[in-house]
A and B are shown apart, each in its own frame.
Chain A
Amino acid sequence: MEFKKKTKIKLAIPTASMPDIIFMLLIFFMTVTVMKTYSGLKVRVPDALKIEKLDVSKRHIATIWVDKEQNIMINDITVQEVKNLRNRAYELRVNDPLLIVVLKIDEKAQMGIVNKVQQELRKGNALNINYSARPGEL
């Protein structure tokens, strides 16, 4: 028995608008991308439950790393002495009043160094800070 072949219908997705759609996507990703990223120090941030997303874009973020061995780094610049943090924080704050300082501090770090960093940030007038944390479970 022979089956009757269906008549062929000409099917074509219109591709004329494809470049326009891709252009829109491209423009979206171009505006969203922030090129500078820092490698930072190797830290394991503590976990917390009541964490909030930062409500500013990445452009207004400065990051400070403090690791277990009390090394301090701000935006990939190693800070030898805690006192030098003040000027760096001040410069960043002057250049960007919306600045938020994200503190990525190792969970095994001691509070002595954390308090020192906080005091320096106060003196550098960078007052909006955010303790980076991993989302934890109940």
Chain B
Amino acid sequence: MILGKKKDKDVEIPSASLADIVFLLLIFFLVTTSIDTEKGLDLVLPPPGDIEVKIPKKNISNLFINANGQAMLDNEIVEVNEIQRLVKEKLFENPLLIVSLKTHKESEYDVYIKVLDQLKRAQAKRISLADPDEE
């Protein structure tokens, strides 16, 4: 028995509006995307727990920031924008130098970032954040 073949019907999805629909979707995603990337200063915190590492005194440089936004590098009061030069000189003399950064709890975050920025520009890779003084 031969089954009669069905007549080929002209079935087609209209694709004329496809481009328009895709355009709409494109515009939606264009508008919602925000390309701007976050920028800032990277830092890796030490793992939790107190690890006592003995560092020879000559490899440590102390940097304090007080509540008035003044900086003190190795017992000398310095201008914040001088730190880059001073630390660079110290690093040249001793490449193993670790800068220990200590802040007063009332000092401003702005100064801290400025100092950190100076240290980064001086290519000081070894920065230690000392615990703030407990009172």
Binding site for B on A (CB under 8 A): 18-19, 22-23, 25-26, 29-30, 32-33, 35, 37, 45-46, 48-54, 58, 61, 102-103, 105-112, 114-115, 118-119, 121-123, 125-135
Are B22 and A22 in contact, with the CB atoms below 8 A? yes
Contact for B107 among A46, A111, A134, CB less than 8 A: A111
Among residues 96 to 124 in chain B, which have CB atoms less than 8 Å away from a CB atom of chain A?
A: 103-110, 112-114, 116-117, 120-121
Contacting B109 at CB < 8 Å: which of A52, A106, A119, A129? A106
Within 8 Å by CB of A131, from B25, B30, B105, B116, lies B116
Do A26 and B106 touch (CB < 8 A)? Answer: no
Instruction: List residues of B whose CB falls within 8 A of some A CB.
Output: 18-19, 22-23, 25-26, 29-30, 32-35, 37-48, 65, 103-110, 112-114, 116-117, 120-121, 129, 131-132
For residue B39, which residue of chain A has the nearest CB?
A: A51
Q: Is the interface of B mostly helix, strand, loop or mixed?
A: mixed
Among candidates A53, A105, A121, residue contacting B45 with C-beta atoms closer than 8 Å:
A121
How far apart are A106's CB and chain B's nearest CB, in angstroms?
7
Residues in B neighbouring A130, C-beta threshold 8 A: 38, 40-43
CB of B40 within 8 A of CB of A102, answer: yes
Instruction: Find out whether the CB atom of A127 lies under 8 angstroms from the CB atom of B23.
Output: no
Task: For B38, give its contact among A29, A35, A132 (CB under 8 Å).
Answer: A132
Select the residue from B19, B106, B107, B131 with max chain A CB neighbours within 10 A. Answer: B19
The residue that B37 contacts in the complex, of A33, A45, A48, A54, with Cβ under 8 A, is A54
Report yes or no: A53 in contact with B39, Cβ–Cβ below 8 A.
yes
Sampled A-B contacts (5; CB under 8 Å): A29-B30, A46-B114, A48-B116, A50-B121, A58-B38
* Complex Cα gap A114–B45 (Å): 13
Contact B22 A19 (CB under 8 A): yes
* Chain B residues in 8 Å Cβ range of A46: 109-110, 113-114
Q: Are B26 and A51 in contact (CB under 8 A)?
A: no
**What are the 6 A-B residue pairs with the smallest beta carbon separation, nearest first?**
A112-B105, A29-B29, A107-B110, A48-B117, A50-B120, A111-B103
Please give the distance in Å from B117's CB to the nearest CB on chain A. 4
What 6 additional pairs, Cβ within 8 angstroms, besides A54-B37, A127-B47, A134-B39?
A48-B40, A50-B121, A107-B109, A109-B108, A111-B104, A111-B108
